[in-house]
Amino acid sequence: MLAKLMSWFLLGLVRVLTGAQARWLGCPPKAEQRIYFANHQSHADLVMIWAALPRELRGITRPIAAKDYWTATPFKQWITTAVFNAVYVERERKGDEDPLQPLADALTQGDSIILFPEGTRGHTGDPQAFKAGLYNLAQRFPQVVLVPAWINNIQRLLPKGEVIPVPVLCSVTFGAPIHLDQGEDRKVFLERAREAVIALRER
Amino acid sequence: MNSFLRSLSPGQQVGLLFVALFGLLLLLSIGAFLASLRERPDTPEGDSSRAELRNFEGVLRASWLMAAVFWVGWASGETVATVLFALVAFFALREFITMSPTRRGDHRSLILAFFAVLPIQFWLTGTAHFDLFTVFIPVYVFLAIPVVSALANDPQRFLERNAKLQWGIMVCVYGMSHVPALLVLDFPHWDNDKNAFLVFFLALVVQTSMVVQHLAARQLRRKSALMLRAPEISSSFSWRAWAAGMAAGGVLGGILSSMTPFKPGQGLAMALIACAAGSFGHLVMKALKRDRGATPWGGGVASVTGATGLLDRVDALCFAAPVFFHSVRWYFDL
């Protein structure tokens, strides 16, 4: 109940502040299993892409949240668990555990996920090199559709280190799905994925 | 006809106005719907006629929205009306800021603009603190914004960034706040419940003059007689089209004067002042857009910013309202 209210409040807030516009240029919004991968410039990215998805997809799409940041306080943990239904991921490898295991579990259950393959928030300008997670998941789950997305303007909404967001129109552009070719090199694929995201910036 | 109108109470008169306005919008919408049913070939002419219809439907949607805002504002009193105009100002400023690149150092100034300046200005409007309302932004905010920016310790393009922010606040907040300010003006020998008519008067004459100017420019272009005054800035501004718009706005002002505190001659003069300020303001906003490299604010639905073009529809009103408000106050010595 509280989570439902919170999600309405957040949706309203994001719409008032940013317009939360989704631009489906390369593919329609569709309830198939997908990995959305996007540029990462702000913690608000997670909320933004969640708000831009249509309601029907929001329920079956789980954002990936950095465990150290999003479980730091009980409130952050509650909001990512109860409202966003997020999957936590460790940014640093600990022991023998596979950091991708929680993501793989979510995909096995049939959920779609939202991934920020840069791993950490970049500054303005081009996204940093993508981490290998996207490649590994694409290999293990070849049936899942890979959709690139570009989140525009969000670094102006809430720059690193600021608390109060400023109203500015933002949009999420979804591009045409990409596929991992048979025997494609990891580096080549990751660079191709990164370019697919960057290409959406100018459209 | 006229004596019948005068026999009605102010409330009934405003009600009648809304019936007429919504009736007109309904007729136009039915017309647009019927026009959309007509089959159009996949030729360049068909495409241009489709684009024209889409454009018209956009204007129609904005008019419905504006009329609904006015109606809700009138039906629920001055306070709600002021809040509604504050919301319009908020969204207009959001659009303005989106199109003007800011740096990280501007974050605090932007917070100040959106969450302090805007509410305070509209609060001053709603409570009729006219002395402070007039000088709050040009005097106090004028200093406060650059101080906050300077404290952010980023000298790069300092003047440019601050000028943009100041402009955004002046146009979207200061200008827009003068529309609901008309509601709380206190005219002698005049029922103040009817002040909603003044807002209507302003919005209708300005909007009419803009539409007529647009249509006149199109007619002139068809006859290849369009003499562009500033082709680098506007692809439609010509003195002849502008004069046509002014004439239409002025005549309408004279006709509508019976529902305002003005006599016909005064109504004509006030309408001309408002239309001149509105049309020149629109031209100035076009120049700003060209400077940013975009034609309409955001460039339609498909733009990367997601801007909706609200500013395109309200910029004339934003420039006309302060000039109109202060002319009225000066002339009637309020």
Domains of chain A from N-terminus onward: 2-199 (3.40.1130.10)
B100 interfaces chain A, CB cutoff of 8 Å:
no
SS3 readout for B20-86: HHHHHHHHHHHHHHHHHHCCCCCCHHHHHHHHHHHHHHHHHHHHHHHHHHHHHHHHCHHHHHHHHHH
Which band of pLDDT confidence, cut at 50, 70 and 90, is reported for residue B300? very low
pLDDT tens track for A93-137:
777 778 888 899 999 999 999 999 887 776 667 888 888 889 999
Residues of B in contact with A153 (CB under 8 A): 98, 305
Which residue of chain A comes nearest to B88, CA vs CA? A16
CB contact under 8 A, A171 and B306: yes
Q: Which two tokens stand for residue A68?
A: 């150290």
Q: How far apart are CA B105 and CA A137, in angstroms?
A: 39
Q: What is the pTM of this model?
A: 0.86
Task: Confirm or reject contact between B104 and chain A (CB < 8 A).
Answer: yes
Q: Establish, for the pair of chains A and B, how many residue pairs have beta carbons separated by less than 8 Å.
A: 51
Output the pLDDT for position A184.
87
Cα(A69)–Cα(A77) distance, integer angstroms: 9
Q: Which residues of A touch B104 (CB under 8 A)?
A: 159
pLDDT digits (tens, 9 = 90+) for B244-257: 999 999 999 998 88
What is the nearest CA distance from A75 to chain B, expressed in angstroms? 24
Q: Is B110 on the interface with A (CB under 8 A)?
A: yes
Residue B130 CA to residue B183 CA, distance in Å, equals 12
Angle at B136 between CA B135 and CA B138, to 5 degrees: 60
Nearest CB among B95, B107, B305 relative to A171 is that of B305
Please give the Cα distance from A187 to B66 (Å, whole number).
54
CA-CA-CA-CA dihedral for B207, B209, B215, B219, to nearest 10: 180
Interchain proximity A201–B304, CB inside 8 Å = yes
Contacts of A17 in chain B (CB under 8 A): 94
CA distances from B126 to A51, B76, B141, B321 (A): 34, 14, 19, 16
Among residues 150-189 of chain B, which lie with CB inside 8 Å of chain A?
Answer: none
Tell me how far the alpha carbon of residue A133 is from its chain's centroid.
13
Q: Are A174 and B119 in contact (CB under 8 A)?
A: no
User: What is the three-class DSSP state of A114?
Assistant: strand
Least trusted range by pLDDT, from B1-15, B128-142, B248-262 = B1-15
pLDDT at B299: 44
